[in-house]
């Protein structure tokens, strides 16, 4: 018999309790949910080693990859991170307190501010990136590279079907 996971038990119980209903979708959604929770926990452990919460890492990473030298407005951060404006504000506040980002009024527009990496923030995200990628490689080590690529393709198709499109599309 093939290897079993915790979701197999749930599916078997539903097959016994309600053989008239196919619980197959629960297998996919349940496994995605369990994998997400496990991945979140292990990623959060890595970020905590560097004194960051995951949301703080996301802000630093977004500013590093998309912000250029000038940074991003709060609205641009919002578009790149898929969280509420309140969450952006809280994350940025924590990063300002840690002196990893600055927040300043946009020249010529007092109602808009720009968030930018400080030198310390840029150094931290640059130093963390390779370790973060190594951590993710370890988390995916149960799959071959080909399987990882196939899974990424299937998950992309699922997300597009759920209307999770890039900003501006």
Encode pLDDT of 132-156 as tens digits.
999 999 999 999 999 999 999 999 9
Contact criterion met (CB below 8 Å) for 65 and 117: no
Can you give the CATH number for the domain in which 140 is found? 1.10.10.10
Specify the pLDDT at position 86.
83
What does the alpha-carbon distance between residue 136 and residue 148 come to, in Å, rounded to a whole number? 11
Residue 25 lies in a domain: no
Residue 119 lies in a domain: yes
Number of folded domains that form the chain: 1
Greater confidence (128 vs 70) lies with: 128
Residue 18 lies in a domain: no
DSSP assignment of 35-93 equals HHHHHHHHHHHHHHTTT--HHHHHHHHHHHHH-TTT-EEHHHHHHHH-S-HHHHHHHHH
Residue 30 lies in a domain: no
pLDDT at 18 over 80: yes
Of the CA atoms within 13 Å of residue 26, those in its CB half-sphere come to 13
Confidence of residue 167 (pLDDT cuts 50, 70, 90): low
Residue 114 lies in a domain: yes
Residue 111 lies in a domain: yes
Residue 4 lies in a domain: no
Specify the pLDDT at position 84.
80
76: domain range?
51-169
Average pLDDT over residues 83-99: 91
Residue 116 lies in a domain: yes
- The pair of three-digit structure tokens given for residue 89, joined into one six-digit string: 């504000």
Confidence of residue 12 (pLDDT cuts 50, 70, 90): very high
Specify the pLDDT at position 110.
67
- The pair of three-digit structure tokens given for residue 33, joined into one six-digit string: 């949910």
């Amino acid at each position: 018999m093939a290897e079993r996971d915790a979701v197999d038990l749930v599916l078997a119980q539903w097959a016994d309790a309600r053989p008239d209903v196919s619980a197959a979708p629960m297998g996919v959604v349940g496994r995605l949910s369990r994998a997400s929770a496990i991945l979140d926990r292990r990623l959060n452990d890595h970020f905590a080693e560097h004194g960051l919460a995951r949301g703080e890492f996301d802000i630093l990473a977004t500013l590093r990859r998309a912000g250029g030298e000038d940074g991003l407005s709060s609205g641009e951060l919002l578009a790149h991170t898929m969280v509420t404006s309140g969450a952006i504000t809280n994350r940025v506040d924590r990063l300002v307190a840690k002196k990893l980002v600055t927040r300043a009024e946009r020249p010529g527009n007092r109602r808009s501010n720009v968030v930018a990496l400080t030198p310390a923030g840029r150094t931290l995200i640059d130093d963390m990136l390779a370790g973060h990628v190594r951590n993710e490689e370890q988390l995916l080590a149960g799959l071959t590279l080909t399987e990882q690529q196939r899974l990424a393709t299937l998950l992309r198709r699922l997300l597009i079907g759920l209307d999770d499109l890039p900003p501006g599309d």
